[in-house]
């Protein structure tokens, strides 16, 4: 992983809770739609005759296609949630290797999204020194991330 990929990963890390929340909402919606479609199959359709037929085969086939489509969406959302959880855990583990002052600069710059001027004011370092600390921190994250993936 090169430094720009790590920076992109850190920026994505800040958006993970929002993305997880969106995917959880979509997952619940898909589950509700599946439940509603399954309930539709259970509702009998009487034609007034004593031995009236329940739902026709054509209706079952149509509803099953809908169920399959919802299941595809549900599987996709659950897969994305799993990937986000893995990514969040990997970045969290990689950030644990940083010194407090390194973590603070990485947090302010990438997770909170501050400009370098604001970061340097908040940590009371010169901008150039903040960038040097960031470079050192990214190398540590890169090494930690590499060690974790092996």
pLDDT in tens, 31-40: 998 888 777 7
pLDDT of residue 116: 93
Non-local (6+) Cβ contacts of 110 within 8 A are 7, 10, 11, 13, 14
pLDDT of residue 42: 67
pLDDT of residue 89: 87
Per-residue pLDDT of the chain (150 residues; tens, 9 = 90+): 677 778 888 888 888 889 999 999 999 998 998 888 777 766 555 555 555 455 566 667 777 788 888 889 999 999 999 999 988 888 888 888 899 999 999 999 988 889 999 999 999 999 999 999 999 999 988 887 676 656
Pick from 105, 84, 72, 65: which is nearest to 24 by CA? 84
pLDDT of residue 35: 87
Cα–Cα–Cα angle for 21, 24, 28, rounded to 5 degrees: 140
User: Are 123 and 104 contacting, i.e. CB atoms less than 8 angstroms apart?
Assistant: yes
pLDDT of residue 93: 84
Helix H or strand E segment including 128 = helix 127-149
Domain 3-149 CATH assignment equals 3.40.50: no
């Amino acid at each position: 992983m090169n430094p720009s990929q790590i920076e992109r990963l850190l920026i994505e890390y800040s958006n993970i809770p929002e993305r997880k929340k969106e995917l959880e909402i979509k997952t619940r919606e898909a589950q509700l739609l599946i439940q509603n479609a399954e309930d539709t199959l259970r509702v009998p359709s009487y034609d007034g005759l004593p031995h009236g037929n329940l739902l026709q085969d054509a209706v079952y086939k149509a509803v099953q296609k809908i169920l399959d489509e919802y299941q595809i969406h549900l599987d996709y959302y659950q897969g994305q949630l799993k990937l986000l959880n893995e990514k969040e855990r990997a970045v969290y583990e990689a950030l644990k290797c940083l010194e407090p002052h390194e973590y603070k600069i990485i947090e302010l710059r990438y997770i909170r999204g501050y400009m370098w001027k604001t970061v340097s004011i908040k940590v009371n370092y010169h901008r150039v020194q903040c960038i040097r600390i960031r470079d050192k921190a990214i190398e540590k994250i890169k090494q930690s991330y590499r060690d974790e993936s092996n």
